[in-house]
Amino acid sequence: MKKKPQVIVAYSHNVSQAVRVHRLPKPGETIRALKASSGIDGGKGTNTAVAAARTGARVAMVAHVKGGDWYQKGQQVLKDNGIDDTYVILGEGMKDSSGVVLIDDEGNNMIVLGANNEQTIPDDEIDAALNAMKDAEYCLTGYEINEKSVRHIIRKARELGIKTVVNASPAPNFAPDYWKDISILILNEVELLHMLDLAGISYMDGNWEDCVRKLRKAYGVGDVVVTLGENGFFCMEGERTYCSSGIKVDSKDTTGAGDGFFGSMAARLSLGDSLYEACRYANRYCAISVQRDGTISSYPLAEEAERIFKQMGYGGL
């Protein structure tokens, strides 16, 4: 009998490839591509699910998608990583355009989401999936899918007692009134400041504790994780605050690093880590992924990550 999932990823599902350029273009500038990335790239949900599965969690994917060649590739990715796809529903129509990811020589990226491809998960599909997997510990979602779906996922998960972990990327352009139902909110520093601006709150840029306390007061969220790229992370767990510096590596491709952080953090939480311990693991995990091509193709299995951690001088994880 298949074991029940610990982590549900109710999110976007997609597989594509990125394009490499020497440098990112300026407005109005035309540049020439070098090549398509040799790595495999996915939507935020697919990336997150793969990272969580590869770092030790039992994972199930919940999504509602359109057809096309990318769909078959995406389903194979889920199968290859042991991710339960029972509730990945193939809807009507075909995917009509792909997004574009540009990656420069320094590993920096620009991402444009595809037109008319916003994924919406119908309420009844969300209810059926979460009711069937109500013993899961965590439900992960984020704003690469339709906001209405995010709202319903959060409400339903909390109703069932499943902890909700939400990636506020891309950040909403309004102040949500339902973030009080979020157990853990993860966002980067730009998204954090954006959400404070929406709430009309003044802040001191760079004082992450002050910013996070104000965010929690404004939106009523639970714990908060702020990813700071090469500068590490800041997190608030209850009233305790933690920060960790970044790990200096030669970045090759930073695309999907945030998704890798999200997924590996959730996996470690499901394995019993505290939030700080899970973030510390995820920080080190992403230091590996940014040195590789692609998103999905850059995420190591837990055993490989442990070996590399030891080589980096980080033992005992």
DSSP 12-39: ---EE--EE-SSPPPTT------EE-SS
| Spatial CB neighbours of 102, under 8 Å, sequence gap ≥ 6 | 18, 19, 20, 21, 24, 25, 109, 110
Nearest CA-CA partner of 87 in 119, 58, 71, 65:
65
Does some domain include residue 316? Answer: no
- Output the average pLDDT for the chain: 90
Rounded CA gap, 301 and 285, in Å? 10
Rounded CA gap, 135 and 235, in Å? 26
Does some domain include residue 1? Answer: no
Nearest CA-CA partner of 149 in 172, 133, 175:
172
Number of domains in the chain: 1
Rounded CA gap, 39 and 266, in Å? 24
| Spatial CB neighbours of 209, under 8 Å, sequence gap ≥ 6 | 234, 236, 241
pLDDT band at 3 (very low <50, low <70, confident <90, very high): confident
Does some domain include residue 39? Answer: yes
Report the CATH number at residue 244.
3.40.1190.20
CB atoms within 10 A of CB 124: 9
Does some domain include residue 132? Answer: yes
Does some domain include residue 215? Answer: yes
Does some domain include residue 2? Answer: no
* Size of the chain in residues: 317
pLDDT band at 27 (very low <50, low <70, confident <90, very high): confident
pTM beyond cutoff 0.85: yes
| Spatial CB neighbours of 85, under 8 Å, sequence gap ≥ 6 | 60, 61, 75, 78, 79
Does some domain include residue 207? Answer: yes
Does some domain include residue 315? Answer: no
Beta-bridge partners for 16: 41
Residue type, 126: I
Tell me the pLDDT tens digit for each residue of 249-269.
Answer: 988 888 889 999 999 999 999
pLDDT band at 132 (very low <50, low <70, confident <90, very high): very high
Tokens (6 digits) for 258: 């945030």
Rounded CA gap, 97 and 119, in Å? 13
- Please check whether residue 115 is in contact with residue 140, taking contact to mean a CB–CB distance below 8 angstroms: no
pLDDT band at 39 (very low <50, low <70, confident <90, very high): low
- At residue 315, the pLDDT reads 63
Parent domain of 173 = 7-310
Rounded CA gap, 18 and 16, in Å? 7
